[in-house]
Structure formats: structure tokens, C-alpha cells
């Protein structure tokens, strides 16, 4: 009976939590409905432990701004072909800096991994040495104890 009461209580709390979650706004309710339907997309877009909802806060306004500027420039008749060389230089600089940062972070992660692996093997060796010493110095023969 106690187990059934706890299960009922947990079920009620879950339904109250889900009802409260749907009142938080359109984006959260959309993401939670995707999560409830299941599948990989629902797992990726889940609210707890995911970076996608926070990333959407920055990505959606930027994307909408870019689309709006594109349509505004085409409506005004601005020719973007004169800016292509400057944009290519900006993209090349950005790509270079991003590549350097990625290589730096990867090298840092690789060196940390090998340092951890080396320390783990050292700990394993110390435990093996301690176990070997215990076996060597603990004997059941009375003549060797003195």
C-alpha cells in the first residue's frame, strides 16, 4: 500500500510539473512535445541538460535578422556583388582564427587525456605493488613470522 501511495504521489507530481511546464511559453511547450513523442530529435531538444534551448535564444533572433536584411536589400535593389571580396576576406580571417582555436583546444584535450592515462597506470602499478607486498609479507607459516 505504501508503494502504491508513493507511486500515485510521484505520478501526480509529474502531471503537475508537466502542466506547469506547458505554461512557460511556446518554445518550451514545442520542445517538450517533441520530447514526449520520443525519438532522437526529442532527446536532443529536451529541456533539462541540453544546450539547444539556450542556443536558440541567440540563434533565432540572429537568423531572423539575417533573413530580414536579405529581403530588405533585395527590395531596395542593393547589389551585393561589390561586397563579395570583402566578405571573402572576413570569412578567411574568421576561418583561420577558428581553426587555430580548434587545434589548440584539441591539443590541450589530447595532452590531458594522456596525462590522465599515465597517472591511472601509475596508480594501478602502486596498487599492484601494495597487493604484492601484502601477499609476500602475510604468511600462515609460523616459522616465517619471526
Max mean pLDDT range (15-19, 20-24, 33-37): 33-37
Q: Give the tens place of pLDDT for each residue, 72-90.
A: 888 888 776 666 667 788 8
Distance CA 63, CA 55 (A): 12
Give the pLDDT band (50/70/90) at residue 32: low
pLDDT above 70 (res 95): yes
Nearest to 30 by CA among 49, 15, 46, 12: 46
60 contacts 53 by C-beta, under 8 angstroms: no
Q: Work out the pLDDT band at 125, boundaries 50, 70, 90.
A: very high
Amino acid at each position: 500500500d505504501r508503494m502504491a501511495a508513493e507511486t500515485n504521489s510521484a505520478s501526480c507530481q509529474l502531471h503537475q510539473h508537466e502542466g506547469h511546464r506547458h505554461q512557460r511559453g511556446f518554445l518550451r511547450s514545442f520542445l517538450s512535445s517533441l520530447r514526449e513523442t520520443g525519438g532522437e530529435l526529442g532527446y536532443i531538444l529536451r529541456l533539462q541538460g541540453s544546450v539547444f534551448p539556450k542556443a536558440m535564444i541567440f540563434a533565432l533572433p540572429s537568423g531572423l535578422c539575417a533573413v530580414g536584411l536579405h529581403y530588405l536589400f533585395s527590395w531596395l535593389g542593393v547589389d551585393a556583388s561589390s561586397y563579395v571580396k570583402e566578405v571573402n576576406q572576413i570569412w578567411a580571417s574568421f576561418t583561420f582564427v577558428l581553426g587555430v582555436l580548434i587545434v589548440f583546444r584539441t591539443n590541450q584535450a589530447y595532452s590531458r587525456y594522456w596525462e590522465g592515462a599515465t597517472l591511472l597506470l601509475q596508480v594501478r602499478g602502486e596498487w599492484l605493488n601494495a597487493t604484492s607486498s601484502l601477499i609476500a609479507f602475510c604468511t600462515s607459516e609460523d616459522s616465517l613470522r619471526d
